Structure formats: structure tokens, C-alpha cells
Amino acid sequence: MGRITLDKVTKKFGDVEVIPPLDLTIEDGEFVVFVGPSGCGKSTLLRLIAGLEDVTDGEIRIDGQPATDLPPAKRGLAMVFQSYALYPHMSVRKNIAFPMKMAGMPEDEQKRRIDNAARALNLTDYLDRRPGQLSGGQRQRVAIGRAIVREPAAFLFDEPLSNLDAALRVGMRLEISELHKRLDTTMIYVTHDQVEAMTMADKIVVLRAGNIEQVGSPLELYRNPRNTFVAGFIGSPKMNLIEGAEARKHGAETIGVRPEHIDVSASEGTWKGRIGVAEHLGSDTFFHVHDTGLAETLTIRASGEVGLRHGDTVFLTPQADKIHRFDAQGLRIA
């Protein structure tokens, strides 16, 4: 079981309010991702849940039990740190055994769990090495191993993949998702990489300056961003936001169109512009279009190879049903 409820949780460092009163419910078995720009309070929120920081005000409940004043070890949560935080002088086996040893678990049970975790995480051959003799990905797996042997109510991850190279990151992303499917335990995952958020999450929590901007499934956030911040943050490349006369034509202060929802043509269309940089990814091509009179640049995604090059004049047509409209406060107009 791992249902975590935050009730008006507030955090101040001195006079600085990093997390204004915040309500959030995380259901049992859910994979929740906190995303937001750097410094928005994701790590702080995670550390509040873990008990590594004291809440200034409000209440945290785990499975309905008040946990606000419980020390970290008593909350039944396990955390995987960005720096892995392995114990450098202990072997991998001892690292994984450490939480069980601290809990006074019988030796044979410890051994059984270590073997299970090592098998699940492909660490069997490395059990007697020190962390310093492992690669980044292996260290990450040891850190996860140390977390799963405790059979916690929920896992907390703080940007666990940010120290890995791109290929490894994709691999570990899948492994963590699979782990979640297999264990069916609540996981809270902090990242500022919105691709990780989109691919892994059951539920995404978008944060800005400690405030929750929107909570929802990845597709909900993609289809119906509640405001311009979420609209700009979710999706890659970013949504094009257009203000002014063109927006007022649609009865809004700002309109947003995703790069993949604009059709490109060399001969005709609603908007006219000139191609700046073209990024060829093979499967897709991203065009940065200037001189449209709408915004500094518009980003357009065209599938595959299109016969357009730097300096060409293009015509753009937004797909009418994919235009998002926002009011003067940046809120979505239904």
C-alpha cells in the first residue's frame, strides 16, 4: 500500500516560501512524475515527502496515517538519489543489505532478498565489487536494488538518470518502467526532462515556483494544457504561442499551436514565412520559420524529408481543431 496525501503542505527556508500551500493525492500503485523548470521546488517537495526536510505547515499522510512528524526511516519509503549516494567503502552486497541490516532482518532472509534483487537488476556478477568499480548505469541499479529490498510503500526518485549518457538513459527509463509494472508499487519520480515525464508517468504534476500548475495523465496535459505555462512546458519541441491580432481573430489573447499541428506548403497557406534553421532528424524535420509577423520564430515539424531548405519561403496552415486558446491570464478558454 502506498497512498500519499499532501494537505496544505508548505515549506519556507527562512523567509523564502519555496512551496506555498499545496494539496496533492498520490494513489496507491501510481507512477507520478514531478516536472518543472530548475529551482521550482521538485526536490524540496520530494524531500518533504521523504522526511528529509521538515514541513513548515500542513500535513502529510501515508495510507491515511499522519506521517508529518515521523522520521524518514519510519515512513516506509525508499529513495534513489541523483548522485546514487552509495556507500563507497562497502561492497555492492553490503550496500544492498544495509537497510535490512539496520532493520535487524534475519541473515537468510537478507540473503534471499539480495539474490532476488541482484537477479532482477542484473547485478549478480558485481555483488562483491565496490561502487567505485562500477559504471554509472550499474551504480544506478545498485541504488535501486538498495531501495527495492526494503519493500517500501513507495519509491522516491530524484532525477535518477541525469548523470547517465543518452543511450543509457533510455535503457534505464525502460527498466524503471518495467520495475513499476512488476512491483506495482507507488513511485514518485522527479525530473526536468519532459520526455521522461511523458513516457513514464501515469500522472504528471507540473510545478512552477512551488505551485502545482496542472495534474493529469501525459495525454491530458498534451491535449488540454490548463494554461500557457503547461502548454509551453509539455511537448517537444515546444508549442508555438502567438499573441496579438492573429490570436484575437480566434477570440483569445494567446493562441497555441504545436509544431506537429501545422501543415507546411511551398505554395499556399494561411501564414507566410522564411525558413531559418532546418533540423533534420531523419524521421522528422524541424523548421524554424521567421518573418511570419506572428512571433519571433515558429517551429514546424514535418515528417521525413521535405524538399525545403534554408531561406525558402513557406506557407503554414494550422490545423483548425488543434488550436489552443488562452485568455489574458494565460488560462485555457474551453
Ligand X SMILES: Nc1ncnc2c1ncn2[C@@H]1O[C@H](COP(=O)(O)OP(=O)(O)OP(=O)(O)O)[C@@H](O)[C@H]1O
Among 5, 43, 95, 110, the residue binding Mg ion under the rule CB under 5 A is: 43
**Is 52 one of the binding residues for another protein (CB under 8 A)?**
yes
Residues 137-176 that bind another protein (CB under 8 A): 146, 150
Q: How far is the CB of 26 from another protein (least distance, A)?
A: 18
Instruction: Provide the greatest CA pair distance for the chain.
Output: 75
- Cell numbers for 281: 532528424
Would strands 77-80 and 186-190 be described as parallel, antiparallel, or unpaired?
unpaired
What is the SS3 assignment for 145? helix
Which partner in Mg ion, ligand X, another protein, none is near 44 (CB below 5 to 8 A by kind)? ligand X
Binding mask 193-212 for another protein (x = CB under 8 A): --------------------
Among 72, 237, 276, 330, the residue binding another protein under the rule CB under 8 A is: 72
Q: Sign of the CA dihedral 261, 267, 271, 273?
A: positive
Among 17, 56, 58, 81, the residue binding another protein under the rule CB under 8 A is: 81
Among 37, 39, 66, 103, the residue binding another protein under the rule CB under 8 A is: 103
Per-residue b or e along 189-226, where b marks 16 or more CB atoms closer than 10 Å to that residue's CB: bbbbbbebbbebbbbbbbbbebebbbbbebeebbeebb
- Among residues 233, 217, 318, the alpha carbon closest in space to that of 271 is found at 318
Q: How far is the CB of 254 from ligand X (least distance, A)?
A: 26
Question: Which residue is nearest to ligand X, using beta carbons?
Answer: 43
Q: How far is the CB of 141 from Mg ion (least distance, A)?
A: 21
Query: Could you give phi then psi for residue 86, rounded to 5 degrees?
Result: -75, 160
Q: How far is the CB of 71 from another protein (least distance, A)?
A: 8
**Is 12 one of the binding residues for ligand X (CB under 6 A)?**
no
Among 12, 23, 27, 39, the residue binding ligand X under the rule CB under 6 A is: 39
Point out which span in 26-34, 88-96, 109-117, 175-183 binds another protein (CB under 8 A).
88-96
Residue partners of 107: CB distance under 8 A and separation at least 6: none
**Is 67 one of the binding residues for another protein (CB under 8 A)?**
no
How far apart, in whole angstroms, are the C-alpha atoms of residue 245 and residue 258? Answer: 19
Binding mask 156-195 for ligand X (x = CB under 6 A): ------------------------------------x---
Q: How far is the CB of 88 from ligand X (least distance, A)?
A: 23
How far apart, in whole angstroms, are the C-alpha atoms of residue 212 and residue 232? Answer: 15
Question: What is the residue-wise DSSP string for 204-256?
Answer: EEEEETTEEEEEE-HHHHHH--SBHHHHHHSSSSPPEEEESHHHHHTTSSEEE
> What is the distance between the terminal CA atoms of the chain, rounded to a whole angstrom?
37
Packed helices 92-102 and 136-148: angle between N→C axes, nearest 10 degrees: 20
Size of site (CB under 6 A) for ligand X = 11
How far apart, in whole angstroms, are the C-alpha atoms of residue 26 and residue 23? Answer: 10
Where do contacts with Mg ion occur on this chain (CB under 5 A)? 43
Where do contacts with another protein occur on this chain (CB under 8 A)? 50-52, 71-73, 77-79, 81-83, 85-90, 98-99, 102-103, 146, 150
Where do contacts with ligand X occur on this chain (CB under 6 A)? 13, 18, 36, 38-44, 192
